[in-house]
Amino acid sequence: MSTLDFEDFTRRIEADLREVVNLSYYENHKKNYPKSEFLYMGVPAAEVRRIAKKYLKQLKDRRIRDVEIILDFCTKLQQKKISEFRTIAIQWSFQYRKQLKSKHFDLLEEWLDKYVTSWGSCDNLCVSTLGYFLCKFPEYIPRVKQWVTSPKPMIRRASAVSFIFSLRRGRYLEHIFDIADALLTDEEDLVLKGYGWMLKEATKRFQDEVYDYVIKNKAKMPRVSLRYAIEKMPQDMRKKAMARD
């Protein structure tokens, strides 16, 4: 395995990113997230993914393929606090998901706490690498369920959306209603939308169970969460769920 000058490698990634900056993307992001602690360069997501793939191949070509080294690179990229670097880090970690071990939960939780700053970065991490981890290592479900009490809205959102990867594979229905109960009347809109999305994903395999939950709780459930949850249900079920008693 060859050695790598990480800082030089990072500079080359950044140079490639700067060549495909879209100023309208940058201005729109600046308008919507004026106080973001991560710099957004303004690179379209498709270009970020392409560049991530290019440089991951370079690592592999240099026989740098060990998950511990890759995860260390991912952490260092996120420490730069550049949004596109964070996206690349998450993409790289997901490419190495099959090498993840139980011990890596602490690192993924640290990423969530330190580097997730918005619903976009939250969902990117939770529906990919973190979601895969939870599906593979269910013993960490109790830890994830504790996130519902976090003072950070994006960690509370993560407690719900981290289950989406598993729900799409027909797993963990027995846990999601605990999450929804805890977040039912959360003060943050993005948290309400997060658990609503979780319930919506569950309807693809467990429609009746989610419907029963919604009917039971619709008097207290905020409308934004309810609408997300029933979005994919048949019209007659949606109508009954939305009806005021």
pLDDT at position 1 is: 44
Q: Quick: pLDDT tens for 139-190.
A: 999 999 999 999 999 999 999 999 999 999 999 999 999 999 999 999 999 9
190-203, pLDDT tens digit by residue? Answer: 999 999 999 999 99
Please state the pTM of the whole predicted model: 0.95
| Average confidence (pLDDT) over 102-118 | 97
Q: Read off the pLDDT band of 30 (50, 70, 90).
A: confident
> In Å, how far from its chain's centre is CA 6?
26
| Cα 186 to Cα 25, 119, 151, distances in angstroms | 31, 15, 11
CATH architecture assignment, domain 116-245: Alpha Horseshoe (1.25)
Q: Which long-range contacts (CB under 8 A, 24 or more apart) does 100-104 make?
A: 100/67, 100/129, 100/132, 100/133, 100/136, 101/67, 102/137, 102/139, 102/140, 104/71, 104/133
Average pLDDT along the chain = 96
The structure tokens 């019209």 sit at 235
Q: How far is CA 76 from CA 6, 10, 85, 121, in A?
A: 9, 9, 9, 16
- Whole-number pLDDT of residue 2: 57
Question: What number is the average pLDDT over the span 98-110?
Answer: 98
- Choose among 89, 101, 122, 124: nearest CA to 188: 122
Share of the chain above pLDDT 70, in %: 99
pLDDT over threshold 80, residue 23: yes
pLDDT for the residue numbered 33: 81
Structure confidence at residue 31 as a pLDDT band (50, 70, 90): confident
Report whether pLDDT(244) > 90: no
pLDDT per position as a tens digit, 217-226: 999 999 999 9
User: Which sequence spans correspond to the domains of the chain?
Assistant: 1-99, 116-245
What tens digit of pLDDT does each residue of 64-81 get?
999 999 999 999 999 999
Q: CA 233, CA 207: separation in Å to the nearest integer?
A: 7
- Quick: pLDDT tens for 43-59: 999 999 999 999 999 99
CA distances from 102 to 18, 127, 135, 136, 232 (A): 37, 18, 11, 9, 34
pLDDT at 126 over 80: yes
pLDDT at 121 over 90: yes
